[in-house]
Amino acid sequence: MRRAPRCVFCEIAAGRAPAALVFEDASTLALMDIAPAARGHVLVITREHFETLYELSAEAAQGVALTARRVALALRSSPTGCLSSNRTVPPPTRPYPTIMCT
């Protein structure tokens, strides 16, 4: 599995950094954002490291979409919205594809 040094999401996926997980499967994780933009802000990420959405494999994209749908359904009673992003994660600043559901 592809990992990147000093990537916080790779550290979380490997179980070496703490995270408030709300869902996980073989290819994705859904976790509470440490700097939420709104109450219930959940990030959906891949277990495997990808720099941007453009590099995401079809299988990884499918996994992210299915997990985002699952999170959105769980948040259905709240004013839920999901956005995709080539997110910048400090430190170090690096892009990372995410889907954010709030």
Which chain residues interact with Zn ion by CB under 5 A? 4, 7, 9-10, 49
What's the closest the beta carbon of residue 90 comes to Zn ion, in angstroms?
Answer: 14
CB-nearer residue toward Zn ion: 6 or 39: 6
DSSP letter, residue 78:
S
Residue type for 39, please? R
Contacts of 79 (CB under 8 A, 6+ apart): none
Please identify, using beta-carbon distances, which residue of 9 and 87 lies nearer to Zn ion. 9
CB closer to Zn ion out of 1 and 73: 1
Q: Report angle CA 50, 56, 57 to the nearest 5 degrees.
A: 125
The nearest distance, CB 56 to Zn ion, in angstroms, is 12
CB of 100 to Zn ion, least distance (A): 16
Written as one string, the DSSP assignment of 2-43 is ---TT-HHHHHHTTSS---EEEE-SSEEEEE-SS-SSTT-EE
Q: How far is the CB of 3 from Zn ion (least distance, A)?
A: 6
Residue with smaller CB distance to Zn ion, 22 or 45: 45
